[in-house]
Amino acid sequence: ALRPIENADKIEVATVLGWQVVVQKGQFKEGDFCVYIEIDSILPDKPDFEFMRERKFRVKTIKLRGQVSQGICFPISILLKATDKDLILREGDDMTELLGVRKYDPQIEWEKKETERLADIDRGRMSKFLKRYSWYRRLLFRFKKPSRVPFPSFIKKTDEDRIQLFPDYYEKWGELPFTVTEKLDGQSATYFVVRNPKAGILQPKWLFGVCSRNFQLLKQDNSSYWTIARKLNLQEKMTKYCDRWNLGLIIQGEIIGRKIQGNKYEIDEPEFFMFNAMTYRSGKTEVMDQTGQSFLCIVLDLNSVPVIDSTGRKLFPDMNAMVEYAKGYSRIAKIPREGVVMRNYTRNISFKIINPDFLLKFDV
């Protein structure tokens, strides 16, 4: 769809999926196909995207003539420049790889730098010299355990899709009740206790694990993830819970505090706010509903993310109304909240709605 912007002669607003995007007037007609680039995308350094150089090729939420714009629309012709092959295009095709677009993910970059800093890498001249030889590298690999491994396959990562990716959300879920919690802007963390398959005289009954959003962190260090584990005594508390109920336990939450995402909440020491909990038994996970999670927070003495509505919020039929609902102030600090997360536990449906005021204020 297209609609005009007041007092703007050269631009108008296009609706793509559920996104509002400012486009050049006359570039598209209603119902046209286009190539849509979502916010938090990094465009490649190519002539077609030269206009994004000052923004370091990153697509952000911006405001033009008072209109919030989230994303970029390109005509289909941009695909013809990207390949010499004949393309058969269908609505919904993913053009990420063809165009060379990648996701902006500051947490992955932070994790990489933090791992290098905490890995106690030997930067001495002798070590650098000896690393030229394969026998020395093999010895290092054998005796120096890795500090991290891939994220456990039996746990779902904490990423939530934006509601705009579900333009038919109301037709699908309009009659369902949803629990609403505040989305916090920090570091996603996962902690788990599961039964040890090698349990015995010399092996413990339960295994405790600490994970960032993308990795399991094997080595205790001073990162915020392990700091929270020690501060909250999570291994002991979670293990007692698992012993009591004879099942595994997984908790996920957000860490906020100093040196984390600019510390927008102005908290000196890292704090953990749980937003998800699952039991684990016989290779299967079962998600706790909000009542179960609230009870678990009491048992383990943990903070929960702020609950905005636990009574069963119904969805609005208009996408703009859903975005307006996400606006408001955080219950932790006097700043616009990042947004909300909505969950229906019966159908295992969840999505996030990001507050554009938060994106504009913090230029993220």
The pTM assigned to this predicted structure is 0.85
* 288 Cβ neighbours under 8 A, 6+ residues apart: 277, 278, 279, 296
Which residue has tokens 């995308």? 41
Cα angle at 103 between 321 and 11, to 5 degrees?
Answer: 50
pLDDT tens, the chain, 364 aa long: 999 999 999 999 999 988 999 999 999 999 999 999 999 999 999 999 999 999 999 999 999 999 999 999 999 999 988 887 888 899 999 999 999 999 998 777 766 666 566 555 445 566 666 666 676 666 655 555 677 889 999 999 888 999 999 999 999 999 999 999 999 999 999 999 999 998 888 899 999 999 999 899 998 999 999 999 999 999 999 999 999 999 999 999 999 999 899 999 999 999 999 999 999 999 999 999 999 999 999 999 999 999 999 989 999 999 999 999 999 999 999 999 999 999 999 999 999 999 999 999 998 7
Here the tokens at position 194 are 């599961």
Sequence length of the chain is 364
Place of tokens 């970029």: 72
* Residues 352, 339: Cα–Cα separation, whole Å: 7
* 73-117 residue pLDDT tens: 999 999 988 887 888 899 999 999 999 999 998 777 766 666 566
Tell me the HSE value of 43 on the side-chain side, using a 13 A CA sphere.
Answer: 27
Q: Are 16 and 42 in contact (CB under 8 A)?
A: no
Main-chain dihedrals φ then ψ at residue 347, nearest 5 degrees: -100, 0
Q: Which helix (H) or strand (E) holds 244?
A: helix 234-245
Please give the structure tokens belonging to residue 178.
Answer: 């949803």
CB 223 within 8 Å of CB 217: yes
- Bridge-based pairing of strands 271-281 and 303-304 is parallel
Q: Which tens digit of pLDDT belongs to each residue from 125-166? A: 666 666 666 766 666 555 556 778 899 999 998 889 999 999
